A and B are shown apart, each in its own frame.
Chain A
Amino acid sequence: MVDDTNVKLISEKDLDEFVNKLIDNKTYNVMGVKAKGERFVFDHLDNAKELRLDYDVTILPPKKYFLPPSEKLMDFNITKSFDIKKSKKSKKRIIIGIHPYDIIAIQQMDKYYLDSQKDDFYKKRRENTIIIGSDIQNVSKHSFAESMKTHTTYSGFDILLTNLGNKYAVTIGSKQGNDLLEKYGHFRDAKKSELKKIDKIRNQIASQYDKKVDIDKEEWSKYLVANYNNTLWEEKSDKCMSCSSCTMVCPTCYCYNILDDVSLNLKEGGRIRTWDGCLLKDFTKVGSGEIFRDDKKERYRHRFYRKGNYLPERYGFVACVGCGRCAIACLPNIADPCEVMNTLSSFDKSAETDKYFIKQQTKVPDKGTIHIPRSATIKNINKLTDRETLIEIKLDDNKSLGHSPGQFVEVSVLGIGEAPISISSPPKKDPTFQLVVRKVGNVTSKLVSLKPGDKIGIRGPFGNGFDIKKLENKNIIFVCAGLGVAPLRSLYLYVTDKKNRKKFKELKILYGCKEPCEAMFLDEFEELKKTSDYECKMTVDKCPKGECWEGEVGLITTLFPKIDYDNSKSKDTISVVCGPPIMYKFAIKSLKDMKIPDKNIYVSLERHMKCGVGKCGHCQINGVYVCKEGPVFRYDKVKKLPEALE
Chain B
Amino acid sequence: MKPKVAFFDFSSCEGCQLQIANLEEEILDLISIVDVVSFREVMKEHSDNYEIAFIEGSIMRPMDVTRLRNIRENAKILVALGACATIGGINKIRNQWPADEVKKEVYGDADIKDNRYFDAFQTKAIDEVVKVDYYIHGCPINRDEFKHVVTSLALGKEPIIPNYPVCVECKKNENICMFEKGEFCLGPITGAGCGAICPTHRSACDGCRGIISKPEVECVMDILKRYDLTYEELKSKSKLYNYSREANK
| A residues at B contact (CB < 8 Å) | 36-39, 41, 59-60, 64, 69-70, 238-245, 248-249, 259, 261-266, 274-275, 277, 280-282, 328-329, 331-333, 415-417, 441-442, 445-446, 449
Given A243-B165, A264-B151, are A70 and B172 also a contact pair (CB < 8 Å)? yes
Q: What are 7 sample pairs from A and B whose C-beta atoms fall under 8 A apart?
A: A238-B219, A242-B164, A248-B171, A262-B151, A262-B155, A277-B164, A280-B168
Residues 147-176 of B, flagged 1 when their CB comes within 8 A of A and 0 if not, give: 110110011111010011101100110111
**Smallest Cβ distance from B150 to chain A, in angstroms?**
7
Q: Which residue of A lies closest to B163 (CB)?
A: A282
**Smallest Cβ distance from B221 to chain A, in angstroms?**
10
User: Whole-angstrom distance between the alpha carbons of A310 and B62 in the complex?
Assistant: 59
B174 touches A263 (CB 8 A): no
User: Whole-angstrom distance between the alpha carbons of A611 and B177 in the complex?
Assistant: 31
**Smallest Cβ distance from A322 to chain B, in angstroms?**
19
How many residues on B have C-beta within 8 angstroms of the other chain's C-beta atoms? 41
Q: CB-CB < 8 A to B171: which residues of A? A: 60, 245, 248-249, 329
- Among A266, A281, A445, chain B packs the most CB atoms within 10 A around the CB of A266
Cβ-defined partner of A263 (8 Å) among B23, B151, B176, B222: B151
B174 touches A41 (CB 8 A): yes
Given A69-B172, A442-B157, are A241 and B213 also a contact pair (CB < 8 Å)? yes
Chain A facing B: main interface SS: loop
- Among A238, A242, A243, chain B packs the most CB atoms within 10 A around the CB of A243
Cβ-defined partner of A265 (8 Å) among B33, B226, B227: B33
Q: Does B132 contact A (CB under 8 A)?
A: no
Cβ-defined partner of A245 (8 Å) among B26, B167, B218: B167
Q: Does B15 contact A (CB under 8 A)?
A: no
A36 touches B163 (CB 8 A): no
B164 touches A331 (CB 8 A): no
B177 touches A416 (CB 8 A): no
Given A37-B176, A39-B176, are A241 and B219 also a contact pair (CB < 8 Å)? yes
Cβ-defined partner of B222 (8 Å) among A239, A242, A249, A442: A239
Q: CB-CB < 8 A to A415: which residues of B? A: 155
User: Whole-angstrom distance between the alpha carbons of A244 and B174 in the complex?
Assistant: 14
- Among B167, B175, B176, B189, chain A packs the most CB atoms within 10 A around the CB of B167
Given A266-B151, A266-B154, are A60 and B163 also a contact pair (CB < 8 Å)? no
Cβ-defined partner of A241 (8 Å) among B165, B175, B218, B227: B165
**Smallest Cβ distance from B151 to chain A, in angstroms?**
5
Cβ-defined partner of A446 (8 Å) among B32, B156, B160, B179: B156
Q: CB-CB < 8 A to A39: which residues of B? A: 176, 180
User: Whole-angstrom distance between the alpha carbons of A277 and B169 in the complex?
Assistant: 12
- Among A39, A60, A242, A417, chain B packs the most CB atoms within 10 A around the CB of A242
B219 touches A263 (CB 8 A): no
User: Whole-angstrom distance between the alpha carbons of A264 and B158 in the complex?
Assistant: 16
- Among B168, B175, B227, chain A packs the most CB atoms within 10 A around the CB of B168
Give the 5 A-B CB pairs with smallest separation, nearest first.
A248-B171, A69-B172, A264-B29, A243-B167, A442-B157
B177 touches A332 (CB 8 A): no
User: Whole-angstrom distance between the alpha carbons of A39 and B180 in the complex?
Assistant: 10
**Smallest Cβ distance from B204 to chain A, in angstroms?**
13
Q: CB-CB < 8 A to A238: which residues of B? A: 216, 218-219
Cβ-defined partner of B164 (8 Å) among A37, A281, A328: A281
Cβ-defined partner of B33 (8 Å) among A38, A264, A280, A441: A264
**Smallest Cβ distance from A275 to chain B, in angstroms?**
6
User: Whole-angstrom distance between the alpha carbons of A332 and B188 in the complex?
Assistant: 11
Given A248-B168, A264-B26, A331-B223, are A239 and B174 also a contact pair (CB < 8 Å)? no
B179 touches A248 (CB 8 A): no
B215 touches A59 (CB 8 A): no
A331 touches B179 (CB 8 A): yes
Q: CB-CB < 8 A to A261: which residues of B? A: 148
Q: CB-CB < 8 A to A241: which residues of B? A: 165, 167, 188-189, 213, 215, 219
User: Whole-angstrom distance between the alpha carbons of A605 and B174 in the complex?
Assistant: 38
Q: CB-CB < 8 A to B155: which residues of A? A: 262, 266, 415-416, 446
**Smallest Cβ distance from B224 to chain A, in angstroms?**
10
User: Whole-angstrom distance between the alpha carbons of A54 and B88 in the complex?
Assistant: 49
User: Whole-angstrom distance between the alpha carbons of A248 and B165 in the complex?
Assistant: 12
**Smallest Cβ distance from B19 to chain A, in angstroms?**
14
